Structure 1
Amino acid sequence: MKTLCEKYAAKLAAQGLATGHGPDAPLVGGLDAELVWNREDPRTDVLSGLFSRLSINSLVFVRPAEPYRTILDFLAARNPDGIRPEDTETRTFLHDIPVCGEFTAEAMAARLKRRKVIVIPGQGVAACGTVTPEQGFVSVSSAVFATFVLFFSDYLNRARNVTLDDEYVDVFSRVVRLLPAPRTDLPGLATGPFINEESVVAAMAEAGRKVVGFGLVDSFFGNISYRLGETIHISQTGSSLDELEGCIDPCPMDGSATNGLTASSELSAHEDVYRRSAFDCILHGHPRFSVIMSMDCERDNCPNRGRCHIHCTECRTVDGVPIVPGEVGTGPTGLCHTLPPAMAKNGAAMVHGHGLFTAGNNDFNKPFARLLEIENRCRDLYFERLSQYV
């Protein structure tokens, strides 16, 4: 168990969500035969009390690195009853993020009984799991991602509507100064076309690690696929993009096997893209500014406001990349209906509040390059739009 605790503490640091050393390094605890922590810290005396108050076997506590720390503390102060982001990850996994004003086991347990993750202003973020520390890692990562998206989205909307106040302007300026520079280098992935399952799986695993390493996902979520003949190799649902070995399903396009039962929930969307086009591979990530810009709309008094993610009828694009509505998976409002025609025509599409899909031929070099290029363009576009109002 301690090895798992150390693994997910290291992942949080590797993704830039926390510092790797010192008093602000993540605290990850796991209960097996006994309760163990990844490192010693006096705060574990309080955090250990959560294990007797909740039906959990793991806990992740993080004082986020900047700029996430400033964002979380600011939003928590503004929303003491709970933070309510509107991106797809929040709707799917978190619903809302309770704010806990006390760093006590009693207060934190009361809020963690109804939600997966909480914010303790000035202290950090806590999330629990009932199976492994991975659950807490995912919840913390999702909360940090969602609050980043909310902060920047809300600021742009307030600037447009002339409702910014001095405190928000000061905090925003501080956060922008703390943003890391955008990456423009490319990883140089394996070149295709790939002619057998072994080479396909190796190329997918390599691309997945780079997508996570470049920060183009929320925690490790996203999906990836490659069409080899009439079989689609696709990452499994809930799999870690940076650990895809053993988590890739070969799914015949004629439905002659049941492998799709464990495949990504977006298998049907990938299948339809391949049926409509000559593409060989698809990458899907959750780059932050792509998600932010997918949600930005200048239209006031829209009858679909609040249901944009499934009912948006506006034809919006980012430099020709279409933005489409659609929920995760299938169903009448699933992105399986909206994404494929957009992808087949453009080779890239953004799903409202969700993320970015890119496609290519032979190998993952072009899809990766487009994923990074579009994210960087969305970052530039954000500040270009903001400059119109401030």
Structure 2
Amino acid sequence: MKALCEKYAAKLAAQGLASGTGPDAPLVGGLDADLTWNREDPRTGELAGLFSRLSINSLVFIRPAEPYRTILDFLAARNPDGIRPEDTETRTFLHDIPVCADFTAEAMAAQLKRRKVIVIPGQGVAACGTVTPEQGFVSVSSLVFSSFVLFFSDYLNRARRVELDDEYADAFSHVVRLLPEPHTDLPGLAAGPFTDEEGVVAAMAEAGRKVVGYGLVDSFFGNISYKLDETVYISQTGSSLDELEGCIDPCPLDGSTTNGLTASSELSAHEDVYRRSNYDCILHGHPKFSVIMSMDCERDDCPNRGHCHIHCTECRTVDGVPIVPGEVGTGPTGLCHTLPPAMAANGAAIVHGHGLFTAGNNDFNAPFARLLEIENRCRDLYFDRLSRYA
């Protein structure tokens, strides 16, 4: 258990969500025969009280690194009854984010009985799990991602409506100064085409690690696929993009196996892209500014407002990249209906509030380059659009 605690503490630091060393390094606890922590810290005494109050076996606590610390403390101060982002990660995993006023086991347990993750203003973020520390890692990562999207989306909307106040403007300026520089270099992935399963799996695992390493996802989510002959190799549902070895399913396009039962929930969308096009591979990530720009709309009077992610009828694009509605997976409003035609025509599409898909031929170099290019362009367009209202 201690090894698992150390693993996810290191992942939180590697993704820039928390410091890797010192008093602000993550605290990850796991209950097996005994309660074990990844490191010693005086706060573990209070946090340990959560294990006797909740049916959990793991806990993750971080004091977020900047700029996430400023964002979360600001949003918690503005929304003491709970933070309510509107992106897909929130709808899928979080629903809303409780704000806990006190760093006490009793107060935190009361909120964690209702939700998986909470914010304690001025202290940090806590998330629990019932199986492994991975659950808390996912919840913390999703919270940080959703809060970032909410902070920037709300700021742009308020600027458009001339509703900004000095406090928000000061926090925003501080956060912008702390943003890391965008990646512009490319990783140089394995060159294809790949002719056997071994080559496909190795290329997918390599590309998945780079997508996570470049910060083009939240936590480790997203999916990736490659079509070899008439079989789609795709990452399994819930798999870590940076640990895909052993988590890739070969799914024949004719449905002749049951491998699709454990495959990504977006398998049907990937398959339909391949049926409609000559592409060989697809990358899907959750880059922050692509998601932010997908949610930006000037139509405040739209009858679909509040249900944009499934009912948007506006033909919106980002530099020609279509923005489409659609829920994760299948069903009447699933992205399996909206994504494939857009991808087949453009080789890339952004799903409203969710993330970015790119496709290519032979190998993952071109899809990766386009994923990064579109995200960087969305970042530039965000600040260009904001400058109109300055």
TM surpasses 0.5? yes
Structure-2 residue corresponding to 1:282: 282
Structure-2 residue corresponding to 1:244: 244
Structure-1 residue corresponding to 2:235: 235
The answer to whether structure 1 residue 225 and structure 2 residue 225 are counterparts is yes
Task: Extract unaligned runs of 5+ from structure 1.
Answer: none
Structure-2 residue corresponding to 1:147: 147
Structure-1 residue corresponding to 2:169: 169
Q: CA deviation at 1:300?
A: 2.0
Q: CA deviation at 1:304?
A: 0.1
4+ long deviations beyond 2 Å? none
SS at match of 1:140: helix
SS at match of 1:48: helix
* 1:222 alignment partner AA: G
The answer to whether structure 1 residue 39 and structure 2 residue 47 are counterparts is no
Q: CA deviation at 1:299?
A: 1.0
Structure-2 residue corresponding to 1:159: 159
CA–CA separation in structure 1 for the residues paired with 2:11 and 2:21? 13
CA–CA separation in structure 2 for the residues paired with 1:385 and 1:359? 27
Q: CA deviation at 1:134?
A: 0.1
Q: CA deviation at 1:12?
A: 0.2
Task: Extract unaligned runs of 5+ from structure 2.
Answer: none
Once the two structures are superposed, residues 157-210 of structure 1 have per-residue CA deviations (whole angstroms, 9 ceiling, x without a partner) of: 000000000000000000000000011000000000000000000000000000
CA–CA separation in structure 1 for the residues paired with 2:200 and 2:90? 32
CA–CA separation in structure 1 for the residues paired with 2:313 and 2:287? 23
The answer to whether structure 1 residue 317 and structure 2 residue 317 are counterparts is yes
* 1:111 alignment partner AA: Q
CA–CA separation in structure 2 for the residues paired with 1:170 and 1:15? 26
Percent pairwise identity: 89
Structure-2 residue corresponding to 1:352: 352
Structure-1 residue corresponding to 2:181: 181
TM-score with structure 1 setting the length:
1.00
* 1:249 alignment partner AA: D
Structure-2 residue corresponding to 1:112: 112
CA–CA separation in structure 2 for the residues paired with 1:282 and 1:4? 31
CA–CA separation in structure 2 for the residues paired with 1:303 and 1:276? 32
CA–CA separation in structure 2 for the residues paired with 1:130 and 1:300? 41
Structure-2 residue corresponding to 1:330: 330
* 1:144 alignment partner AA: V
TM-score with structure 2 setting the length:
1.00
CA–CA separation in structure 1 for the residues paired with 2:248 and 2:88? 24
Once the two structures are superposed, residues 65-112 of structure 1 have per-residue CA deviations (whole angstroms, 9 ceiling, x without a partner) of: 000000000000000000000000000000000000000000000000
CA–CA separation in structure 2 for the residues paired with 1:222 and 1:114? 27
The answer to whether structure 1 residue 138 and structure 2 residue 144 are counterparts is no
CA–CA separation in structure 1 for the residues paired with 2:85 and 2:9? 25
Once the two structures are superposed, residues 42-73 of structure 1 have per-residue CA deviations (whole angstroms, 9 ceiling, x without a partner) of: 00000000000000000000000000000000
C-alpha RMSD of the superposition:
0.2
Structure-2 residue corresponding to 1:369: 369
SS at match of 1:100: coil
SS at match of 1:10: helix
* 2:141 alignment partner AA: S
SS at match of 1:376: helix
Structure-1 residue corresponding to 2:378: 378
